[in-house]
Structure 1
């Protein structure tokens, strides 16, 4: 097996900071020599089938059918329920008062319009005008010139991971590479956070902090979009410059998905992350090489990732593989239902990923249109339907959490401190719940409406049924699903209010289970009840 630590033997000796270049990029000659040589080696290995990832043995075949038949979501993920995603990179350090960039600063800043243009400007054109006024024309101040601004001078991964854990997280997932092609780790790709910007291997430090605090460690890569991401930047790039590599100018911005050179490069970049950082979770937040045009390198990477884990853990899967492709059998992976929701209980565990910042990457003017109470309710709704929650935090360029995002995490932590008993380690019940608010099924269009006290969700664990009222109740609570003769076919022995010692008054009839409004409700946005059942 070709180890990531052996890149130096392939001619990719690391280069340092070049004092004469304001972007601090490696020397042009070293980039050309290293990248050309690596690409030739990878092409040769892939062509003859020697770049195999894991050592072959009893393993999953690189097909969706084989992966679907063998993929098993590990217990730590289904039991842990809560993760924190960290989006952080070059654009985090751009002027925080910039206009909306849709979290794609590097793509949108190259949308130049003529000076005499008098029509309405779109988001991209507006940002380009702003960038030109703030920093200079893209031909003079390009995306690469933002890198020296990205210093991470206050970044403390230990404190950040502890804060996430204290507020309920059981795993973290930093972005390893976004669409901008900049690696946030010690990469063979010369544009990375160890060579420039923070001058730190952020993945290594994130992982060490996660291990210290007992959290699982995931990584997220968005790399596959990058040749298309910089399509508008092409007219400002010159062959033979270091920036040519950053902007992926060697690949067709429209036809890259069918280019062997790109698909092989993508595989190598992703496999280096897996080998070097050994993540518990690998999230591919972008397309991937398809079976035809991409020679199946996507499913090959995914099966190689799982096979590597199986080999190292005596045939037991301990890792999570996630991505967004709704066309693939969801038994083959963990579906990332980003900014969406589930209408019903899903047969396979899935991930509800949402953003607390309002823009994925930090921008001071971004607004999260989902209120804190709705976020907590949506999280409980997802968990009741076999989902796992992933909350994105967009760090500032200096590496700190903005106060408004910290408030979301703190409120969620308060809820879990009171009601975590019915969340961690729980499973969906016979039905997810009841109430007038209907959550849309599918990606995007996540709920932003307020819940009412009639919106109730269920989980169960160890013979206890948990009922969560998704808005603070102001009157007696009626749970129609738990009526005599309904889905609950066992007698209720006792009901407890989570986070309180108050004795709860209740009665069950053909109309439902009626719980008298407690005299004192815990200070939490969602009210939870533990319904103990007779054996």
Structure 2
């Protein structure tokens, strides 16, 4: 005989089951309000560091001219006065004519048979990712040139039909997941309609309908009207609209959406990165449609639930509404602690270039470590791009960077992985964020530069000095109000000897022991009895 208590339990169970079923049955709609039911995954905020590559047909000519190697297909068709920033594309056009012949006889499509990836080994790439300390790997699906590195059924212009004759995305996806890493894809094809605009304007091989799936099918504006554009010298100037303005056709936008969905459906990526190519308002409905499709597919595949699909969708600027995806900053980042986890995408090269160019200097590992610590102190994640050769191998200096980065993380990783920002992110030196001649920020640390992270339990505070003080003494002004009464222990991670600490009117004064053997940033671990005291 059932008691009233038994019936109460049964009713409670049924109600809870109904509520769960209702919440689990919710789906994302292609509306901003619906997409803003989004929470970034914990695995992503724990990861802190991912690797990425710029690799494709453009890796064959491997010439950056006055801009970027991965934009070779754009600039090779650009004649004099057709590019902004002081004819930045002309050097590539002249190089192409001299090296391969005029674009009307040797087009971008003719590089494809030369992109063979004959030495590409997905397992070696995945091992490098592990050795470098990255927790996810993002594979280039297709750049602006729209040559797909996956087994697409929607275009013949792909790495299975041509060039390598291999499913490059599929191979690396299996290798990465086999090692317990998260897998992402990178898709830049929305801007394909404009990438080859000089090919269309100057009527080179893009005029052949046979090549439209590679070069796009944009609407070319041949009006004699003028338009105001940036001229690269900090001023605006008027130029004839007929010199190069194009807009996406319905075919271009529909093609983008279909391929973008296919890439997500075939490889079920944990992270999907977009560049800025779909910034025009005309793309908005398709941006929303893909967001809903990606999140619903993640839920359907068991990755997460409505509200927390457990995948990352990256966007730049305001192309997705705040709270509907993860904001990405190219070669930049936030100046304060973010409300939500965010991402910096950056490259081992130091100027506009991202694709492989023989002999190009890469950044010092120390700068990458400092940048990483700054990013994670503000609730960010770093996705760092490398540039393989066309055969699929990495230059030795890039591999060395991975080894050095991984070696440092092996010692100091507890101040990085699975951490969260403290109430304040740190002290900033006077050289941090200075811009170089190309306009990019430089991450040059001084002895004043320290960054803070903490463990999830909020019982351990990590103070990382980005540069070792020559006198062995640190002064941390932003922690001048930190109460040390509950401090249980303090130590230099990977170091030996006693660390002395005291409060003064100037700030928190720390006397360090002997400099440890490892290079780069130097984290101190402060463990408290209970919660870390507040400084606010």
Structure 1, unpaired ranges of 5+: 1-55, 115-119
Asked if the contact 1:99/1:365 (under 8 Å) is kept, the reply is: no
Asked if the contact 2:193/2:246 (under 8 Å) is kept, the reply is: no
Q: Which residue pairs with 2:461 in the alignment?
A: 465
Q: CA RMSD in A?
A: 2.5
Aligned ranges for residues 1-16 of structure 1 at < 5 Å?
Answer: none
Query: Does 2:236 match 1:236?
Result: no
Q: Which residue pairs with 2:497 in the alignment?
A: 502
TM-superposed deviation, 1:71: 0.8
Q: Aligned equivalents of 2:290 and 2:64: distance in 1?
A: 38
Q: Which residue pairs with 2:216 in the alignment?
A: 248
Q: Aligned equivalents of 1:320 and 1:97: distance in 2?
A: 33
TM-superposed deviation, 1:445: 5.4
- Deviation per CA, 1:397-450, whole angstroms, max 9, x where unpaired? 1111112222332332222112100110000000000132475699x9553142
Compared CA separation, residues 489 and 523, structure 1 to 2 (3 A): closer
Q: Which residue pairs with 1:366 in the alignment?
A: 360
Match of 1:405 among 398, 407, 426: 398
Q: Aligned equivalents of 2:451 and 2:64: distance in 1?
A: 40
Q: Aligned equivalents of 1:494 and 1:416: distance in 2?
A: 22
Q: Which residue pairs with 1:354 in the alignment?
A: 346
Q: Aligned equivalents of 1:185 and 1:141: distance in 2?
A: 25
Q: Which residue pairs with 2:57 in the alignment?
A: 90
Asked if the contact 1:378/1:447 (under 8 Å) is kept, the reply is: no
Q: Aligned equivalents of 1:351 and 1:512: distance in 2?
A: 31
TM-superposed deviation, 1:147: 0.9
TM-superposed deviation, 1:238: 6.4
Aligned ranges for residues 58-207 of structure 1 at < 5 Å?
Answer: 58-68=26-36, 70-94=37-61, 96=62, 99-102=65-68, 103-113=70-80, 122-187=87-152, 188-207=154-173
Query: Does 2:444 match 1:450?
Result: yes
Q: Aligned equivalents of 2:145 and 2:246: distance in 1?
A: 18
Compared CA separation, residues 464 and 217, structure 1 to 2 (3 A): same
Q: Aligned equivalents of 2:187 and 2:383: distance in 1?
A: 15
The alignment partner of 1:406 has SS state of helix
TM-score, normalised via structure 2 length: 0.82
Asked if the contact 2:464/2:522 (under 8 Å) is kept, the reply is: yes
Q: Aligned equivalents of 1:402 and 1:135: distance in 2?
A: 25
Asked if the contact 1:340/1:441 (under 8 Å) is kept, the reply is: no
Aligned pairs, number: 467
Compared CA separation, residues 488 and 197, structure 1 to 2 (3 A): farther
TM-superposed deviation, 1:57: 5.0
Q: Which residue pairs with 1:482 in the alignment?
A: 479
- Deviation per CA, 1:109-134, whole angstroms, max 9, x where unpaired? 012359xxxxx983311111111111
The alignment partner of 2:393 has SS state of coil
- Deviation per CA, 1:248-307, whole angstroms, max 9, x where unpaired? 1365585544x33222111101000011111011111133376x6346111110121012
Asked if the contact 1:93/1:397 (under 8 Å) is kept, the reply is: yes
TM-score, normalised via structure 1 length: 0.82
Query: Does 2:396 match 1:430?
Result: no
The alignment partner of 1:267 has SS state of helix
The alignment partner of 1:296 has SS state of helix
Q: Aligned equivalents of 1:269 and 1:471: distance in 2?
A: 46
| More moved, 309-318 vs 221-230 | 309-318
Query: Does 2:282 match 1:293?
Result: yes
TM-superposed deviation, 1:328: 4.2
The alignment partner of 1:84 has SS state of strand
- Deviation per CA, 1:14-57, whole angstroms, max 9, x where unpaired? xxxxxxxxxxxxxxxxxxxxxxxxxxxxxxxxxxxxxxxxxx95
- Deviation per CA, 1:304-342, whole angstroms, max 9, x where unpaired? 101221233262421111111336432111011110122
Q: Which residue pairs with 1:334 in the alignment?
A: 326
Query: Does 2:414 match 1:421?
Result: yes
TM-superposed deviation, 1:453: 1.5
- Deviation per CA, 1:463-521, whole angstroms, max 9, x where unpaired? 100000011221211222233xx155763221111112433233334433222131232
TM-superposed deviation, 1:149: 1.2
Q: Aligned equivalents of 1:82 and 1:408: distance in 2?
A: 14
Aligned ranges for residues 312-323 of structure 1 at < 5 Å?
Answer: 312-313=301-302, 315=305, 316-323=308-315
The alignment partner of 1:465 has SS state of strand
The alignment partner of 1:185 has SS state of coil
Asked if the contact 1:490/1:534 (under 8 Å) is kept, the reply is: no
Q: Which residue pairs with 2:250 in the alignment?
A: 260
Q: Which residue pairs with 1:385 in the alignment?
A: 378
